[in-house]
C-alpha cells in the first residue's frame, strides 16, 4: 500500500516513521518545509516530496499517486485539503483540527466511495472513540466529561506552556467559542470559561477550562450533559484570557504608525519562539474520559485514564505519540479491512464496534500509550 502523509511537523513526522515500520507500506512524507522533510528523510525509510498544500491542483496531482492519505495539515488548511483528497477518491485518515463541519463533505465522500476517518487524533480522536464505545454499553447516557491536555514536563514562567502541536491552532482553541450540552440542549460558552481544578495521579493539580472539542460528538452522542475541557497548569487560562480580551488574538488589522497590523500576527511572532519545544525538552499528555448513564435500570459510569510522557530515547513528543499513533492505528485498521464504511466517519462511530476499539487500543498499547479503564 502506497501511503502519503501530508505534513512533516511535530505529529506528521512520527506518523510517517511509524507507518514506515510496516513491511507492506511504502510511505511518502510531504510538506512545504524542506527542513522538516530532511529530518524525516534522515531515517532512510520514508520518501519525501515538497508540496504547497494551498495549491489544490498541485495537491491533487500528488494525491493521485497514492492508495491512502493521512492528513496532518494545520487547521486552516484542513477542510479544503480533505475536500481535495475525497474528490480524488482516496481513503483518508485526518487529524487536522479545522473549524468547518466535516459532514458537509459526507455526500461527496459517499459518492466517491471514500472512507474518510476525520478527527482521528487524540482529542478529537481517541476521546470520541472511547465515548462512542462506552455509550454503546449503556442504555442511556446522562453525562460525558472529557479532560485532556498536553503540557511541558518542566514548568517555566510566565506561560508554563509549550506548543506540542501547531501553535496557531492553540490560539484558535483559545478564541473559538465552546459548544457544550446542558440539560439536553446545546449551548455556547466562551473558550477559557468555567475554570476548575482537577487532581490527576502522577501529575498533580491542573486547571480545566472550556474549549470547543466536542465537535462531531454533538451530532452523534445523545447525552443530557456533555463537556470537553482542556488541561493546563494553574494560572495559564487567566493569562490567555487577558491577552484575548485586550485584543492580542484579533485578526482585524489595526493601524500602527500608518501600517496595518493584525494583532494575532504580532502575538504569534512573540509567543511562538517562547512556546517552541527545544531539543531535549519533554512533554506530558493526560486524558480522562467519563461516560455515565444507566444500564438495566442501574447507574453506571465508565472511565478511561491515560498519562503518557515523551519518548526520550527517540525524542518523540508525547503529544505526537498519543495523537499520531491513534491515526496510524486507524490506517492499519483500514488496511486490514476491519472497517470499510463509506462517507465521513467520526471516531465515536468506529467506537461502536468493539473489535475496532480493541484493535486501536492494542496498537496504542504496543507503543506505550495505555488507557486504563475503570467502572463504578
Q: What is the pLDDT of residues 120-138, one digit of tens each?
A: 999 999 999 999 999 999 9
Residue 225: is its pLDDT beyond 80? Answer: yes
Same domain as 181, residue 147: yes
Q: How far apart are CA 292 and CA 146, in angstroms?
A: 12
pLDDT at residue number 166: 66
Same domain as 329, residue 280: no
Closest CA to 97 of 114, 113, 115, 81: 81
Residue with the larger pLDDT of the pair 43 and 354: 354
- Mean pLDDT confidence for 338-366: 98
Same domain as 231, residue 133: yes
**CATH code of the domain in which 184 resides:** 3.30.360.10
> Please, which residues have CB within 8 angstroms of residue 46's CB and are 6 or more apart in sequence?
16, 17, 20, 27, 28, 29, 40
pLDDT at residue number 167: 73
Same domain as 139, residue 281: yes
Question: For 38-54, what is each residue's pLDDT tens digit?
Answer: 999 998 899 999 999 98
- Mean pLDDT confidence for 153-162: 90
User: pLDDT over 70 for what percent of the chain?
Assistant: 99
State the average pLDDT for the chain: 94
| Residue at a domain's end among 318, 337, 355 | 318
- Mean pLDDT confidence for 61-67: 95
pLDDT at residue number 136: 97
Question: For 271-297, what is each residue's pLDDT tens digit?
Answer: 888 888 888 889 999 999 999 999 999
Residue 242 grid coordinates: 487577558
The domain total for the chain is 2
Residue 70: is its pLDDT beyond 80? Answer: yes
Residue 352: is its pLDDT beyond 90? Answer: yes
- Mean pLDDT confidence for 150-162: 90
Confidence of residue 205 (pLDDT cuts 50, 70, 90): very high
DSSP string, 65-102: T-SEEEE---HHHHHHHHHHHHHTT-EEEE----SS-G
Long-range Cβ contact pairs of 155-159 (< 8 A, separation 24 or more):
155/233, 158/239, 159/236, 159/239, 159/271, 159/274, 159/275
Contact status, residue 9 vs residue 72, Cβ threshold 8 Å: yes
Same domain as 238, residue 203: yes
| Residue at a domain's end among 318, 340, 357 | 318
pLDDT at residue number 341: 97
Same domain as 297, residue 323: no
Same domain as 154, residue 207: yes
Answer yes or no: is 40 within a domain. yes
pLDDT at residue number 78: 94
Q: How far apart are CA 119 and CA 122, in angstroms?
A: 8
Rounded to two decimals, what is the model's pTM?
0.93
242-to-147, 171, 192, 205 alpha-carbon distances in Å: 23, 13, 10, 22
Q: How far apart are CA 275 and CA 32, in angstroms?
A: 22
Answer yes or no: is 183 within a domain. yes
Same domain as 284, residue 166: yes
pLDDT at residue number 351: 98
Angle at 166 between CA 161 and CA 168, to 5 degrees: 85
pLDDT at residue number 280: 86
- Residue recorded with cell 509567543: 271
Answer yes or no: is 375 within a domain. no
Answer yes or no: is 132 within a domain. yes
- H or E stretch at 62: helix 56-63
Answer yes or no: is 372 within a domain. no
Confidence of residue 188 (pLDDT cuts 50, 70, 90): very high
Q: How far apart are CA 327 and CA 219, in angstroms?
A: 22
User: pLDDT over 90 for what percent of the chain?
Assistant: 86
Q: How far apart are CA 32 and CA 29, in angstroms?
A: 10
Q: What is the domain range of residue 341?
A: 2-122+319-365
Q: Is the backbone of residue 110 left (phi > 0), alpha (psi -120 to 50) or beta?
A: alpha
Residue 375: is its pLDDT beyond 70? Answer: yes
Answer yes or no: is 376 within a domain. no
Confidence of residue 165 (pLDDT cuts 50, 70, 90): low
Same domain as 149, residue 113: no
Same domain as 251, residue 147: yes
Residue 130 grid coordinates: 472511547
Same domain as 103, residue 27: yes
Question: For 90-108, what is each residue's pLDDT tens digit?
Answer: 999 999 988 899 999 999 9
Same domain as 310, residue 189: yes
- Mean pLDDT confidence for 62-81: 94
Amino acid at each position: 500500500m502506497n501511503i502519503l502523509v501530508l505534513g512533516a511537523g511535530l505529529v506528521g513526522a512520527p506518523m510517517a516513521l511509524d507507518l514506515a515500520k510496516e513491511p507492506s507500506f511504502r510511505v511518502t512524507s510531504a510538506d512545504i518545509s524542506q527542513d522538516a522533510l530532511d529530518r524525516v528523510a534522515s531515517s532512510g525509510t520514508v520518501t519525501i516530496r515538497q508540496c504547497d498544500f494551498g495549491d489544490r491542483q498541485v495537491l491533487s496531482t500528488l494525491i493521485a499517486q497514492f492508495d491512502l492519505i493521512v492528513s496532518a495539515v494545520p487547521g486552516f488548511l484542513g477542510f479544503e485539503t480533505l475536500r481535495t483528497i475525497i474528490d480524488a477518491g482516496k481513503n483518508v485518515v485526518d487529524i487536522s483540527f479545522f473549524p468547518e463541519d466535516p459532514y458537509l463533505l459526507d455526500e461527496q465522500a459517499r459518492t466517491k466511495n471514500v472512507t474518510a476517518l476525520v478527527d482521528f487524533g487524540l482529542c478529537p480522536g481517541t476521546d470520541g472513540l472511547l465515548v462512542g464505545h462506552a455509550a454503546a454499553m449503556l442504555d442511556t447516557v446522562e453525562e460525558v466529561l472529557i479532560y485532556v491536555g498536553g503540557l511541558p514536563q518542566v514548568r517555566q514562567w510566565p506561560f508554563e506552556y509549550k506548543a506540542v502541536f501547531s501553535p496557531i491552532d492553540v490560539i484558535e482553541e483559545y478564541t473559538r467559542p465552546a459548544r457544550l450540552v446542558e440539560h439536553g440542549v446545546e449551548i455556547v460558552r466562551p473558550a477559557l470559561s468555567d475554570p476548575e481544578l482537577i487532581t490527576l495521579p502522577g501529575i498533580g493539580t491542573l486547571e480545566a477550562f472550556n474549549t470547543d472539542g466536542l465537535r462531531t460528538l454533538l451530532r452523534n452522542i445523545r447525552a443530557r450533559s456533555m463537556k470537553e475541557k482542556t488541561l493546563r497548569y494553574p494560572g495559564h487560562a487567566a493569562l490567555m484570557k487577558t491577552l484575548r480580551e485586550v485584543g492580542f488574538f484579533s485578526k482585524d488589522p489595526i493601524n500602527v504608525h500608518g501600517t496595518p497590523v493584525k494583532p494575532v500576527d504580532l502575538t504569534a511572532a512573540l509567543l511562538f519562539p517562547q512556546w517552541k519545544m527545544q531539543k531535549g525538552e519533554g512533554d506530558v499528555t493526560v486524558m480522562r474520559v467519563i461516560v455515565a448513564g444507566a444500564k438495566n435500570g442501574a447507574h453506571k459510569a465508565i472511565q478511561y485514564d491515560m498519562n503518557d510522557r515523551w519518548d526520550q530515547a527517540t525524542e518523540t513528543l508525547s503529544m505526537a505519540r498519543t495523537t499520531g499513533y491513534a491515526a496510524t492505528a486507524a490506517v492499519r485498521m483500514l488496511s486490514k479491512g476491519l472497517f470499510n464504511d463509506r462517507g465521513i466517519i467520526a471516531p465515536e462511530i468506529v467506537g461502536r464496534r468493539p473489535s475496532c476499539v480493541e484493535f486501536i487500543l492494542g496498537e496504542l498499547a504496543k507503543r506505550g500509550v495505555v488507557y486504563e479503564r475503570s467502572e463504578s
